[in-house]
Structure formats: structure tokens, C-alpha cells
Structure 1
């Protein structure tokens, strides 16, 4: 039996805030209570309320503010000798690092967070930190290493009846199945996640699950209308809760669905919009994936093959630099799909420089 979804990152005076609260409301309340905590001189309360401020900034795409906030929360937690609060601050910092494409830093901070959570006896902080490590490895494409960790975290979340964490783990495992070709299993897990999130009133988790369902329905069933309908439902939640990153990924998936349906001009427009959204929040992974979709759409609309190949070369280098193995493989498949070759395989044009 699972309880209603909670937001353990909303701490101190913000513990009663709903997991479905608008991020702008979370930020406003967090700042108000943080200022009160600073006036009172309570380092522990500064750390705890500062965590919510950091997370609201991060999810709204305010990268610089989020970076300052999690570090301030950590300093306050350290001065209060509060290992649990230090773990949560490190978790926030590691999650931000992953969002910014700094995967090595993400692994380091999340590893420290997991250790600190264990030291402080904060089971939830440790669980979230281990989940962050698993998600970072999954995003990187290292499925073999992190699949068992995802399964372990799912079992632990189910045993504790933590709906939100169970939904996260289901979605992560589903994504691994999707990326490795087990579409039926992936869809079943996304559907379970969507149902559980709905029952637990976890609107954010349900929005991500609907996005996963739409992806597979588009690929497996070739049903763009149903897929677009699921994305439209998820978009309502993203807008109401001000989920900037989730909204941008929703738009990128909408473009993917349009592209697969052969609606290349519509896909181009939506990819361009998603690209601007990711750039505004400094999220290089989403930016690179949107660029890839845009390159493919333009190629289908008749763009010069040399320009297409050059863009794919640049994208491959970018993804190598970030360390996104799965996304790099997507670029490699795009060379074949679009009938162009990587730079090392192309023959110079007659009369060109060798």
C-alpha cells in the first residue's frame, strides 16, 4: 500500500508544502522562511529552508541562483553539524550538476550525499542520493551498471510505501527497457507509474510517465494522435506547476512524435522552441537532443547534406564531451538514417582541400 506523495526536499518550515505546489509558490515561501531563519540565527533552519529555495530555482531553470542556494544550504548545515541537512544539500548540488551536463561532478556530489545520508541516519536522503547516482548513470547510457541499482531502489521504495520514489524507479527502469528495445515491458512500467502517481496525487511523476507512454506509443504503435494527446495532458501539469525542465522535455518529445509521423515542418518548429527553452535554463543534454532533432528535420526538408553532416559531427563531439553515450549513439544512427557519413568517412569533393 502506498501513501500519498510527499516532497521530502521541502523541509523545516516548508514541510507541509504539497508536492504539487507551483514552483513559484515554493520559491516565494522558501525565500520568506529562509529570511526569517537567517534573522533568528538558526543555522539548521537556514539549511533546511534553503534546500527548498535551491530546488525551486533548479527546477525553474535558474541555474546560477540554484548553485548559490545549495552551497549556502550546505554551509549552514555544516555549521549546525547536521549530517542529514548536509546530505540533502549535496543531493541538490549533484542533481543540478547533472542538469548542467557536468556528470563527473554529479557522480562525486551524489556519492558524498549518499555517504552523508548514511552517516546522519537519513534513509530518505540516502535513497534519493543513490537514485540520483542511478539516474546519472542511466542518462549517461551505462545501463549495465545502474540497472540493478534501479531495481534495488524500486524494491526499497515499494517496501516503505513511498509512492513518489516508486514512481521514479519505475520510470527509470522503463526508460532503460525503452532504450534497449523492450518496448512492451517499458510501456507496462510507464503505465504502472502513471496509475500509481495518479493514485498518490503525484502530478509531476504522472506528467513524466505520460511522456514515456507517448514516446513508446509513437514508436511501437505508430499512433501519433494518441501520443500527442498524452503529451497535451502532461503539458497542463507542467505549466500549472511551472515545471520548466519537464515542459521543455515534453515539447522535445512532441517534436519527436511529429518527426516520426513525417510532419517535418511542424517538428522543426517545435524542436526550435524546445531548443530555446533548454538554452534559457542552461541544460546541455536537452539542448543537444533538440539540436539533433532539428538537424534531422531540416535534412528531411531538403537541407544540404554537407551542412547536415557538419552539424552531426559537431553534435557528436558535444555529446562525447558531456559523456552521454546513448545520445551519441543516436547521432551515429542519424548519419545512416539521413544518408551522410561521419567526418572521417567522407570523401572530399573534387578540387577541395584534402
Structure 2
């Protein structure tokens, strides 16, 4: 069982004014006003945390970085370890978004410890979820599988829909990446149901993207594209810049798998521009990989393709994206084999 989704990252007066489905422009305005009116260090910490999250979700990474650090400093002045843990969660999440995965793990690990010591259960769950996702993105499945299960157990115990969706979607992504499409689809579809029941539009948008991905891998391109269109409406309504860019990148994936290489190239180019604008290197590299593959299928010189793939492999290795690097290597080997036969 679970209740309606809520957003504990909005605290104090902001907690009553904002909800999980508030647009990030709305959060930005409310948090900025709260910060200017704050009388205590703890109030400043809470307002700066919301400001950091709104800026991060809108792709404004410099402003997000300044805000989470301000939140941490204010929380430290207030002597509130729980508020410090929330700030570290925000900073770690931003670091992951910016491709700084080692820093992300460091900040999130620290956040988990501070939250546990202070008894801030929700911050502990959020930091734990961030740590699990960071390890999953790196492809370190053995290390983070237990974290996902722990988060899912906590979510179920307290009826917290967002925790359940985060945990289940992470497990689903690992199943998808290891070829278990049946279980991955079941888990993603359950995430969609939980998010819908909990009125969590953001969680629903991300979960629809997961369902679309697996359907596409099973050859159901039309259904996948329809789900991505449904998710895109949510992303635009809530100003989810990063989620929208990943939606477009996934649309490129679906079109590519369906053999629509020209349309895929156009979508990857749109996603690349969006990721560039928000300075998200992981999304940039993944979109570039899609562009390289699409252009290769459209007849691009194989030597140029191989050179760019080698460059991308280096980017994936530097960021720490194991699964993406394996994909690039597999395609490079395929191109090299074709080149040797000509």
C-alpha cells in the first residue's frame, strides 16, 4: 500500500505551498521569495534547497551548484545535520547529472551517513536512492542491487510511492540491461500504476519512458512512440528539462531500432542540443552515440564513424558509463567488420 506522493525536499512554509507536481518555474519563484524573506539559518537552508532543486531540474547547473552549497552552509550554521544531509543529497544529484559520478557517490554517501545519524529518515531514503542510481548508471549492478532492494523495502514499509517507483525503476533498468525484458516491462508498468495512483506526474513520465524502451526492444515501436508522446506532455507541463531531453533521446532510440534512421538522426540532434544547453555530459555522450549510429546507417564514411566511436568510448570511460561504453564497442566492432569486408 502507498499514499499520495509528496515532496519532502520542500520544507517549512514551502512544504505547504508546493507539491510533487509543482512546475519548477513555480518552485523557483517561491523558493527565491522564501530565501529573501528568511530570518533564520534553517529557513535559509530550506529555501536554498528548493532553489537548488528547481535550478537543477531546469538545467541551470551553475545556479543549482551555488544554491545547494548555500543550503549546506546555512544548515551547518544552524547545527542541523538533517538539513545538511538534504543539501548533500541535492549536491550529489547535481554532480551525477553533470557526469561527475565519483563526486556524486562521495556526496551521497556522506548524505546517507548524516541522515542516518540525525534520524532524518526521508533524507536518508533520498540519498540512498541517489547512491543506488549513481552505481546503476555506472553499471556496478552487483554493488547497488542491495541498495535498490533496501530502498524498495523502506518505501513499502512507509507507503512512500516515490521511493517505491525509484527503487523498482532502477531494478527494472538493470533487468533491461541484462536482457530480462519480461521482468523489466512488468516492473516499469507497475511503476506507472503506482505513480498514477499516487498522483506523481513526474514519476509517471519517467516510468512511461521505461515502458516505451522495453516495448521498442520487443519490436512494438508504435506503442512505444505513443507512450513517449504521453510522457512528453507531462515533461513540458512541469518544465522537466532533463526528463524531456531523455524522452527525445529515447524517441531517437525507438526510431533507430525501427529502421527510421533519418528520423532518429533528427531526434538525437534535438536531444543533443538540449543536453548541451543544460551541460549534461552523460546525455550529450549518449545522444552523440545515437547520432553516430544513425549517420552510419545512412551511409556515412566508416572511417569517420570509427574515429568518432573511439572518441566516445573515451568519454564513456571518463564519465564511468560501463553499459554505454559496451554498446559503443559493440557497434565499433560491427563497423570494423563491415569495413574489412569491403
What TM-score do you get using the length of structure 1 for normalisation? 0.94
Match of 2:256 in 1: 259
Once residues 24 and 266 of structure 1 are traced to their aligned partners in structure 2, the CA distance between those partners, rounded to angstroms, is 31
Q: If you compute each CA radius of gyration, which structure gives the higher value, 1 or 2?
A: 1
Match of 1:249 in 2: 246
What TM-score do you get using the length of structure 2 for normalisation? 0.97
Match for residue 96 of structure 1 among 80, 94, 105:
94
Q: Is the 8 A contact 1:84 1:120 kept in 2?
A: yes
Once residues 176 and 162 of structure 1 are traced to their aligned partners in structure 2, the CA distance between those partners, rounded to angstroms, is 22
Structure 1: gaps spanning 5 or more residues:
348-354
Once residues 52 and 338 of structure 1 are traced to their aligned partners in structure 2, the CA distance between those partners, rounded to angstroms, is 47
Q: Aligned-pair distance for 1:340?
A: 5.3
Does residue 64 of structure 2 align to residue 63 of structure 1? no
Look up the SS of the partner of 2:8 in the other structure.
coil
Computed over aligned residues only, the root mean square deviation of the Cα atoms, in angstroms, reads 1.1
Match of 1:18 in 2: 19
More displaced 10-residue stretch of structure 1: 291-300 or 6-15: 6-15
Q: How do residues 168-247 of structure 1 correspond to structure 2 at under 5 angstroms? A: 168-220=166-218, 222-247=219-244
Once residues 170 and 336 of structure 1 are traced to their aligned partners in structure 2, the CA distance between those partners, rounded to angstroms, is 33
Structure 2: gaps spanning 5 or more residues:
none
Match of 1:77 in 2: 75
Match of 1:331 in 2: 328
More displaced 10-residue stretch of structure 1: 191-200 or 150-159: 150-159
Once residues 334 and 6 of structure 2 are traced to their aligned partners in structure 1, the CA distance between those partners, rounded to angstroms, is 44
Once residues 296 and 202 of structure 2 are traced to their aligned partners in structure 1, the CA distance between those partners, rounded to angstroms, is 34
Once residues 82 and 103 of structure 1 are traced to their aligned partners in structure 2, the CA distance between those partners, rounded to angstroms, is 26
Once residues 92 and 275 of structure 1 are traced to their aligned partners in structure 2, the CA distance between those partners, rounded to angstroms, is 24
Q: Is the 8 A contact 2:255 2:263 kept in 1?
A: yes
Q: Aligned-pair distance for 1:156?
A: 1.1
Moved over 2 A (4+): 336-341
Q: Aligned-pair distance for 1:338?
A: 3.3
Q: Is the 8 A contact 1:275 1:287 kept in 2?
A: yes
Change (3 A) 1:337 1:260: farther
Once residues 81 and 238 of structure 1 are traced to their aligned partners in structure 2, the CA distance between those partners, rounded to angstroms, is 37
Once residues 170 and 317 of structure 2 are traced to their aligned partners in structure 1, the CA distance between those partners, rounded to angstroms, is 22
Match of 2:6 in 1: 6
Once residues 113 and 106 of structure 1 are traced to their aligned partners in structure 2, the CA distance between those partners, rounded to angstroms, is 10
Q: Aligned-pair distance for 1:116?
A: 0.8
Does residue 314 of structure 2 align to residue 314 of structure 1? no
